[in-house]
Structure formats: C-alpha cells, structure tokens
Amino acid sequence: MSTISTLPNNGTAGKASLFLQKLSAIEQFHIGWFKSRPAIFDSQEYDSISNHTFIEVDGELVNFNFWKYSELPANIKNECLLAYNEVFGYKLSA
C-alpha cells in the first residue's frame, strides 16, 4: 500500500485525535475478530487495530497507512479509510 497523505484544515492534532477515536470505535465494533487473534505485545490481551494501522503527523501533514504485515479483512480496512475521509475530507482507497 502507498502512503496516503493530505493537508487538512486547521486543528490537525484535534482531527488526528478524532480519527484515532474512530479507529477505536471500529475495533470495538469488530471486537470478536480482534479477540480471536493473539496479542502481539505482552501488554495486550488480544490483537488491536493499532497493530495494523499507523498515522504520522508532521505539522499539518497527516499520513495514514496499514502496516504491510496487516491481516485486517477488507471490510475493516474500508471502514478505516471511510473514517479518514470523514475526519480529513480526503477520499482514500485501499
């Protein structure tokens, strides 16, 4: 996957925080899938959406991507991309 970037309007940190909240909600919606998978880190009880995605904030530039080893199903990836679009107003594709 290629890195997805956009230059959002003011409030980049707030938007990044909102996006992370949306990712958390996606994880909770699909909690059965995540709980069926082993934890990657000792501090985790089960797999987490943060093990599959990452964002980088550099000033007003926000990058979002999936780790190349991610095994997220297509429907969950699409929900993540839609959440990014809702927050940053930038249409993405997998």
pLDDT tens digits for 67-78? 999 999 999 999
pTM of the prediction? 0.81
Enumerate the domain spans of the chain.
4-88
Tell the residue number behind the tokens 């093990």, with chain if given. Answer: 51
Residues of the chain with pLDDT under 70: 1-10, 90-94
User: What pLDDT is recorded for position 94?
Assistant: 59
61 pairs with which residues across the strands? 58
**42-59 b/e with 16+ CB inside 10 Å = b?**
eeeeebbbbbbbeeeeee
What is the DSSP secondary structure assignment for residue 49, as one 8-state letter?
Answer: G
